[in-house]
Structure 1
Amino acid sequence: MKSEGFETVQIQTTSGGTIQIRVRYYRRACDRRNGKRHKGLYAGLALLGIHDRCTLVLAAMVSAWSALLSSFEEVRQVLCDHGVDLNVKVIRKLAYRYAERARVVQQMGLIPLNEKDNLQGRRVVISADGGRTRLREKKRGPKTSKGRGRYHGAWREPKLLIIYVVDAHGKQEKSFTPFIDGGFNDPDGLFQLLESYLESLCIQEADKVLFVADGAHWIWNRVPDLIKALGLNPERVYELLDFYHAVEHLGKVAGLRKSWSAKERKSWVSKQRRFLLKGESETVVQVVQTLCRGRNSKAIKTERDYFVRNRHRLAFPTVKALNLPIGSGAIESSIRRVVNLRLKGPCIFWYRENAEKILMLRSYYKSGRWNCLKQMANSHISLLAA
């Protein structure tokens, strides 16, 4: 890059005022065309961690509020109350760029950890699930009468992961802050992200590792390869179907028996539920098999197959005896807090890349690892995204 000389740059501060700094401006020769100003870099500011003409504290504050509050307009109002006058466009840019810089460091596996993040001899629970968000996807055809591009408001599935630690009594350890992250990539992308986190945490040193989730094919089809790639001891790894999802499927089977009364359905579900807790999953499969007749036999077979393909993940007594969770409530709660309360709502449509950035910011904020994200966003390595 070649220096273009010194320029005066105004830096926005958290007090609402600005400070002027004289700094060199650099840009590549290939970006200099016809004397026009093209993208470049204030190298001195970047080395100080100052991006987008605002201080580190202001960028972190704007990004945190963008993750916490329900809209960028609310962020603008809160900033105005604190004496900082920024428009929505600037706020959006600051938050997106902050997430970009943090993601660059995370993808390089340079996640800042502390001594409490050591998994040696601990009991680790890993779970994944998907939510629903509407994305703005381009639609072919002429523009509207106002010159705007047409788009589809397609429902897409953001996929989320969570890693946390439980104590000997099965309660979540407060000393270990969970990791929550995700994106809109395909399932392989999420599992690559999960693998990078587990490698950084040295999951091989854990005493026990539990994978618990619902019956989604995209999750369980990839868990064996993940275990093999991480080099985990199979004797220390447990795969478990979420107990409460399993009971929900029993309810669907009972609901398909139109000749049963509500009392009979409830009694039947309670009986099969007890069989699952006792570890008699084969009995449940056989009972469901006997119901596969009549007009609803095809639908009942679908529910039967759910239990058949997950029969080796129904060891609820074994896992419960180890004081490990038999439900995936942690990831279900994360979907609600991270996705539903920020990315999902009436008339809300996101561009995929922007939704992924807010998803990362909110995931770290809600998991309690905001300081970790700040370290990544302010790292000199993040200059790759500058």
Structure 2
Amino acid sequence: MGFVDRISPQLASVACQAALLCPSFEIAGQTLRHHGVELGVSAITLNGTDRSDGRVVLVCIDGGRLRERKAKRGRRVAGLKRQGYHTDWREPTQIVIQFFNADGSKCDDFLPIYDATMGDIDQVFTLIEKYLRQLDVTKAENVVFCADGARRYWTRTDPLAKKLWIAVHFEVIDYTHAKQNLAPIIEKLPKSMASRQIEKIRFVR
């Protein structure tokens, strides 16, 4: 019959359509119940492979850049067909969540989660918490948080790990930002020593 994890293709199709067409997973669940399909939010958002059981969960956080178009105030200048606008730079926070096997290889049965928000740092971690709860992260082998050196990240990762009852977690500065901060230090070392340290950085990568 083509069942996968006790789910028929038709049920999976209906649930996916509801999740895509409805404004939230909660409303998707309500819509399905009206049609006699009893599925909770966790069942709609996850499939059998989207679990962290025995896996390494990598959570990457980084800032991006985008221009937000805002119309200028006041009347439109005579002779112009369109209202002018400003395009100030803004910084969204981007999130990537991936699964890895114990040997460090990527899990082929789990597609990375990509998301971003224009909210403040508290909203960022609220979003991360939501995803990790859905992934049942308490069953993970460990969780690795990776970001740049900004304190706003690292003052929140440990409290989040405790809140989610994560047994083991690591905090890692990403390679690019670590290299940027190590380079000025290496430049102050004697040339013979500096060359050896540069080779070590290349090897670690």
TM-score of the superposition, structure 1-length normalised? 0.39
Name the residue aligned to 2:152: 218
Partner of 1:156: 90
C-alpha distance in 2, partners of 1:231/1:203?
8
List alignment gaps of at least 5 residues for structure 2: 1-13, 29-40
Contact 1:250 1:269 in 2 (8 A): no
Matched, 1:105 2:38: no
Q: Please, which of 124, 132, 136 is the counterpart of residue 190 of structure 1?
A: 124
Aligned counterpart in structure 2 of residue 249 of structure 1, from 159, 162, 181 = 181
CA contact (8 A) 2:99 2:112 kept: yes
- Bigger proportion of residues as strand: 2
Note the C-alpha offset of 1:171.
1.1
**C-alpha separation between the residues in 2 aligned to 1:268 and 1:103?**
55
Distance apart, 1:188 and its partner CA: 1.7
2:186·2:197 contact (CA, 8 Å) conserved in 1?
Answer: no
Question: Deviating runs (4+, > 4 A) in structure 1?
Answer: 106-111
Matches within 5 A, 1:303-342: none
**What letter corresponds to residue 169 of structure 1 in structure 2?**
D
- Shift of residue 172 of structure 1? 0.7
Q: In the TM superposition, what is the alpha-carbon distance from 1:165 to its structure 2 partner? A: 1.2
- Residue 194 (structure 2) aligned to one of 254, 262, 268: 268
Determine if contact 1:251/1:269 at 8 Å carries over to the other structure.
no
Contact 1:250–1:272 under 8 Å retained in 2: no
> What is aligned with 2:35?
none
Note closer, same or farther for the CA distance 1:232–1:269 as it changes in structure 2 (3 Å cut). farther
Structure-2 residue corresponding to 1:281: none
What is the alpha-carbon distance in structure 2 between the residues aligned to residue 106 and residue 211 of structure 1? Answer: 29
Change (3 A) 1:268 1:129: same
- Partner of residue 117, structure 1: 50
Report the Cα offset of residue 174 of structure 1.
0.4
Q: Distance in 1 between matches of 2:76 and 2:97?
A: 45
- Is 1:201 paired with 2:135? yes
Question: What SS is found at the alignment partner of 1:115?
Answer: coil
Note closer, same or farther for the CA distance 1:166–1:245 as it changes in structure 2 (3 Å cut): same
What one-letter code is carried by the residue in structure 1 that aligns with 2:179? V
Distance in 2 between residues matched to 1:170 and 1:190, nearest whole Å = 26
Q: 1:123 to 1:254 in 2, by over 3 A?
A: closer
Report the alpha carbon displacement of residue 189 of structure 1 after superposing the two structures with TM: 1.7
Structure 1 match to 2:31 = none
Shift of 1:147: 6.2
The answer as to 2:164 corresponding to 1:230 is yes
Q: Which residue does 1:129 correspond to in 2?
A: 62
Relative contact order: is structure 1 or structure 2 higher (C-alpha 8 Å, sep ≥ 6)? 1
| Corresponding residue pairs, total | 174
Which one has a larger percent helix, Structure 1 or Structure 2? 1
How far 1:198 moved relative to its partner?
0.7
The whole-number CA distance in structure 2 between the counterparts of 1:141 and 1:179 is 42
Aligned pairs (5 A) from 1:9-48: none
Shift of 1:246: 1.4
Name the CA distance, whole Å, in 2 between partners of 1:198 and 1:189: 14
Inter-partner Cα distance in structure 2 for 1:128 and 1:221: 14
Q: Give SS of 2:52's match.
A: coil
Q: Whole-Å Cα distance in 2 between the matches of residues 232 and 160 of structure 1?
A: 22
Higher CA-based Rg: 1
Q: Read off the aligned partner of 2:158 and give its amino acid letter.
A: P
Q: Does 1:179 align with 2:113?
A: yes
**1:136–1:154 Cα contact (<8 Å) kept:** yes
In the alignment, the residues of structure 1 paired with residue 195 and residue 92 of structure 2 have an alpha-carbon distance, to the nearest angstrom, of 32
Superposed CA RMSD: 3.4
Q: 8 Å contact 1:158–1:183 — kept in the other structure? A: yes
Task: Return the letter of the residue paired with 1:271.
Answer: Q
Instruction: Measure, in 2, the Cα distance between the counterparts of 1:242 and 1:270.
Output: 21
Q: Distance in 1 between matches of 2:115 and 2:172?
A: 21
Give the whole-Å Cα distance in 2 for the aligned partners of 1:174 and 1:152.
43
Superposition TM-score, scaled by structure 2 size: 0.69
